[in-house]
Amino acid sequence: MLLLFGPQWEGLDMKVDLERTRLECLLNPPPGSSSHARTAVLDDGSLNPSPRPATEAEQKTVDKVREMQALVQQRVGVGKKPSPADMRAILLENFGVDIRLEKFGDPCSTESEIYVLATNTMDLGIPVGGHRA
């Protein structure tokens, strides 16, 4: 681990990053998603992903993400990127979360985190290696 992450690796809290990366892998982001566009170059020539099955807690999170993706698609349509106003409306109307009350640096609500994960792993028409036209 020292060679991989450097001399300060023991002080790094990488658990959250590893959990988020695993969830993205379980969600299998499709082409057109920002997650796929960001990682597709790294996957060139690699084997197909085959993560171990989701734990019960991970499956609950995956189910919440899929439900959030359905809410986003109902509001903006398939393959379209939601605006900040769409995000605010989805979170407020469905979960009672007003993102305007969340302060910078404070922990985000669970719903806000699920929303970000959902939109990062759904087809928004983003080409690999670039921005939408």
Q: Which residues pair with 126 in a beta bridge?
A: 32
pTM for the model stands at: 0.79
Distance CA 123, CA 23 (A): 16
Q: Average pLDDT in the 46-56 region?
A: 85
DSSP state of 32: B
Closest of 125, 130, 118, 117 to residue 31, by C-alpha:
125
- pLDDT of res. 133: 47
Q: Average pLDDT in the 85-94 region?
A: 92
- What are 91-109's pLDDT values in tens digits? 999 988 887 766 655 556 6
Pair of tokens at residue 23: 């969830």
Q: Average pLDDT in the 41-60 region?
A: 83
Q: DSSP alpha helices (H): ranges in 1-129?
A: 2-5, 15-27, 34-43, 56-76, 84-95, 110-120
Whether pLDDT at 33 is above 70: yes
